[in-house]
Amino acid sequence: MKFFVDTADINEIKDLAATGLLDGVTTNPSLVAKSGAKNFISLIEDICKIVEGPVSAEVAATDYPTMLKEGQRLAKIAPHVAVKVPLTEDGLKVCKALSDNGTMVNVTLCFSSAQAILAAKAGATFISPFVGRLDDVGHDGMQLIADIVEIYSQYPKFETEVLVASIRHPGHLIDSARMGAHVATLPPNVIRQLYKHPLTDKGLAAFVDDWAKTGQSILDAA
């Protein structure tokens, strides 16, 4: 399973890339606004220098001709840019045009299996169903992931990867892995939560104390 980080904060990306566990990055207009970055193209260029895997950069327009031009501009930044387009009729037209030319496309704002089928037919590299936002309105976000994974598995010619987005907590990630989703994009705080278990902290504290009692040093050993 691939781990992407869902942030446009360059310092967070640097920090998490250093773990060696990061396979890609997703951004969106809200995350770019939150980062305070003033030059979107430079920001994506900088992220692409840090992370070798797919870096999602979202178009800003909503009409076909402008989205296509924006997508082509973003794709020029680096071969590992995945142009992010919304799941609309025009967005999927852009998806088809860009993917036919070999550009990776991440189709975002997916909230139904029908939308996910359309995205696969349009040649999307990634489909991004938003589980947290579905949960927020009383629906079952993880059920949508299960449905899309099952549907895609019926059609081996669909090459679209299920990228679970709008993840709010480690449980979303664990369920996604159980269902065989290809990618999870995780906010930095959720990635850090994954390491944590109170028994790990307690066990480590005991080992450190007991080791001190031995009076030894591994590095000073003869």
Instruction: Check 34, 76, 84, 213 and give the catalytic one.
Output: 84
Q: Quick check: is 84 catalytic?
A: yes
The smaller minimum CB distance to ligand G3P, of residues 120 and 165, is found at 165
Q: State the CB neighbour count (10 A cutoff) for residue 211.
A: 12
122, 165, 183, 184: residue in contact with ligand G3P (rule CB under 6 A): 165
166, 172, 181, 191: residue in contact with ligand G3P (rule CB under 6 A): 166
In whole angstroms, the minimum distance from the beta carbon of 170 to ligand G3P comes to: 15
x/- string (CB under 6 A) for ligand G3P, residues 6-45?
Answer: x-------------------x-x-----------------
Q: Which residues pair with 154 in a beta bridge?
A: none
Q: Show Cβ contacts of residue 72 under 8 Å, excluding neighbours closer than 6 positions.
A: 98, 103
Please name the helix (run of DSSP H) or strand (run of DSSP E) that holds residue 209, with its range, or none: helix 198-214
The token pair at 70 is 């924006």
93 phi, psi to nearest 5 deg? -65, -40
x/- string (CB under 6 A) for ligand G3P, residues 114-133?
Answer: ----------------x-xx
Q: Show Cβ contacts of residue 35 under 8 Å, excluding neighbours closer than 6 positions.
A: 7, 8, 9, 10, 43
Residues acting as catalytic residues: 84
Question: Binding residues for ligand G3P, per CB under 6 A?
Answer: 6, 26, 28, 130, 132-133, 165-166, 185
